[in-house]
Amino acid sequence: MVHKRVTFYVDGFNFYFGLKRTRKSVCGWKRYYWIDIVKLFEGFLGEGQVLERVIYFTASPLSPAKNSRQSAFLNANKLINGDRFEIVRGKYYDKQFICPYCKASVPKPEEKRTDVNISIRMIGDCMLEKTDVVALVSADSDLVPPIEFIQKHCPQKTVKVYFPPSNYSNDLKDNLLHHRSKPVLLIKNQRRFDLSVMPDAVTKGTKTYTIPEKWKE
């Protein structure tokens, strides 16, 4: 039996802030910050499918405290999952905004390159025959064009979209409906999150990564 290779392309910014919005309104979601991301999405595989890898697209926060928390999460996942978990980094830049009240110029960090990195990787993996199923984890409508490209030029590939908790895109939904598919709403799959929470301390060999204090319930 030939198994279909499934690659998950996770928009880390969209996923994290979806969790953040959800935990403010729904009790218990804070613990999912500390999630085994590979185990989570492996739970969505169907019969005859095999996980190729989970690719997590993100950028390092400019804040040292936030960067430390993110690094703990990424390093723990890499320690557990090895080559099945890949990190692709964009960048944060300080973008100047004008305060509507005092009219002063205020720097605000803005993430760059993530949607471009996701687009290039999805298309590249399809063209180079590195995957059979493209599983996008994002509700960013800017990712409709690369999805349309794959559907047109790689019709043998299957495209699936998973909306992070509290995030939704009508443009992505309409595209899928046009192709007789529909998005998966992660907020309706809390049981899979429960089964994928990492232990507070993740250890392998001499390395240990622990859940940040701020993320504990």
With both helix axes pointing from N to C terminus, report the angle between 144-153 and 114-127 in degrees, rounded to the nearest 10.
10
Determine the pLDDT at residue 13. 94
Reported confidence tier of residue 194, pLDDT bands at 50, 70, 90: very high
State how far the Cα of 56 lies from the Cα of 181, in Å rounded to an integer. 24
With 0.85 as the threshold, say if the pTM is over it. yes
Q: What are phi and psi of 48, to 5 degrees?
A: 80, 10
**pLDDT digits over 154-189, tens only?**
999 999 999 999 999 999 999 999 999 999 999 999
pLDDT for 197 equals 98
Q: What is the pLDDT of residues 41-97, one digit of tens each?
A: 999 999 999 999 999 999 999 889 999 999 999 999 999 999 999 999 987 666 666
Q: Which among 61, 70, 59 is positioned nearest to 212, based on CA atoms? A: 70
CATH number of 4-215: 3.40.50.1010
Has residue 207 got a pLDDT over 80?
yes
Boundaries of every domain in the chain: 4-215
Instruction: Give the pLDDT confidence of 7-34 residue by residue, as tens digits.
Output: 999 999 999 999 999 988 888 899 999 9
Q: Is the pLDDT of residue 107 over 70?
A: no
What DSSP state is assigned to residue 32? G
Give me the pLDDT at residue 27, please: 84
Per-residue pLDDT band for 116 (boundaries 50, 70, 90) equals: very high
Between CA 106 and CA 104 the distance in angstroms is 6
